[in-house]
Amino acid sequence: MNYRHIYHAGNFADVFKHCVLVVLLESLLRKEKPFCYVDTHAGLGIYDLQQESSQKTLEYLSGVSRVLDYGHKDIPVEITPYLTAIKKLNQAYIVNDDLTGDNIHFYPGSPFIARSLLRSQDRMVLMELHQEDVLTLREVFSRDKQVAVHHYDGYQGLKAFLPPAERRGLVLIDPSFEQKNELDLVLSALESALSRWQTGIYAIWYPIKDFTLVDNFLRAIRKMGFPYLISDLIIGKQTMLKEFIGCGMVIVNPPWQIEAALEKVLQGLWKALSPELIGGVRVTK
């Protein structure tokens, strides 16, 4: 396993993914009933952006830093919990009550963001296969009784941990796309997960480089016959080189009436993340 998320933490794709995650979790919080959050590819939990690996790529400067510097009045209110989680990690670097794109030191991963929204009745299950990264993740959540961290293959974990006892919740599938056939692995894991737990919400992140590949993937999801919602964010121009110009999240069994909130959040993010207004946003069934 060569992929290390620290090189990419806080980039535009993370911002997109984590804001969609917040919108989904907020919808689960509307009912008192407990829920379970399952993260199949959890990563480190917290990322030190001042570390050499992150400073090598500086990807966060065109991601989270742009959102922090965009001007709070233009950032959709729905993503306040996302900004709060970032501020919580960066308390020591807040100047004049404000955190700027230059001052940010730490970036929260999906497990940290989800944990910041959980109530005492909720629970989360995290899986990470990298043998060093899982140790860091364990440390972040040591002594937290609501969080279970497993050194486990996320796809296999869906068989082991679904359905959760709560019978209510969200599964985030956020692979590193190191495997050439990663989308096929996702499809077969999703199919098997849906056979175990038909009513769970599943959010699957995918990169947009090759539109044919994405279309085929979404067609296969459609064929599974469950309700779904597609949300995409594109911030670059399409070229023959199949560069990483955007990303998307397909949500299977989306919460009721979530489209409007997602559209609003993504339009706001797109303006912050694509200062030259290249690309755009799509939220569609």
Ligand X SMILES: C[S@@+](CC[C@H](N)C(=O)[O-])C[C@H]1O[C@@H](n2cnc3c(N)ncnc32)[C@H](O)[C@@H]1O
Contact by Cβ (8 Å): 250, 208: no
Question: Does residue 235 bind ligand X (CB under 6 A)?
Answer: no
Neighbours of 34 (CB within 10 A): 18
**Binding flag, residue 130, ligand X (CB under 6 A):** yes
**Chain position carrying tokens 């990264």:** 133
Measured between alpha carbons, how far is 203 from 175 in angstroms, rounded to an integer?
11
Measure the CA–CA gap between 83 and 19, rounded to whole angstroms. Answer: 9
Q: Where are the alpha helices (DSSP H) in 119-198?
A: 133-140, 154-161, 182-196
Interaction residues for ligand X, span 245-284 (CB under 6 A): none
Asked if 133 touches ligand X (CB under 6 A), the answer is yes
Q: How far is the CB of 81 from ligand X (least distance, A)?
A: 15
Q: Select 122 or 174, whichever has its Cβ closest to ligand X.
A: 174
The residue (of 43 and 169) whose beta carbon lies closer to ligand X is 43
d(CA 199, CA 58): 39
5 belongs to the binding site for ligand X (CB under 6 A): yes
Q: Closer CB to ligand X, residue 106 or residue 155? A: 155
The residue annotated as part of the active site, out of 39, 122, 133, 174, is 174
Does the footprint of ligand X cover residue 123 (CB under 6 A)? no
Decide: is 153 part of the binding site for ligand X (CB under 6 A).
yes
Report the distance separating Cα 90 and Cα 83, nearest Å.
11
Q: Is 20 in the site for ligand X (CB under 6 A)?
A: no
Judged by CB under 6 A, which stretch of 82-90, 129-137, 159-167, 261-269 contacts ligand X?
A: 129-137
Choosing from 59, 122, 128, 232, the residue that interacts with ligand X (CB under 6 A) is 128
Specify the residue for token string 């230059």. 102
Q: What span, in angstroms and rounded, lies between the C-alpha atoms of 58 and 52?
A: 10
Q: State the chain's maximal CA–CA distance in angstroms.
A: 52
| Contact mark string toward ligand X, 63..102, x via CB under 6 A | ----------------------------------------
Check binding of 169 to ligand X (CB under 6 A): no
Q: Does 204 bind ligand X (CB under 6 A)?
A: no
**Does the annotation count 174 as an active-site position?**
yes
H helix intervals, 70-181: 80-89, 110-117, 133-140, 154-161
How is 234-251 classified by DSSP, letter by letter? E-S---TT----EEEEEE
Identify which of residues 154 and 255 has a Cβ nearer to ligand X in the complex.
154
34, 63, 154, 246: residue in contact with ligand X (rule CB under 6 A): 154
Residues known to be catalytic: 174
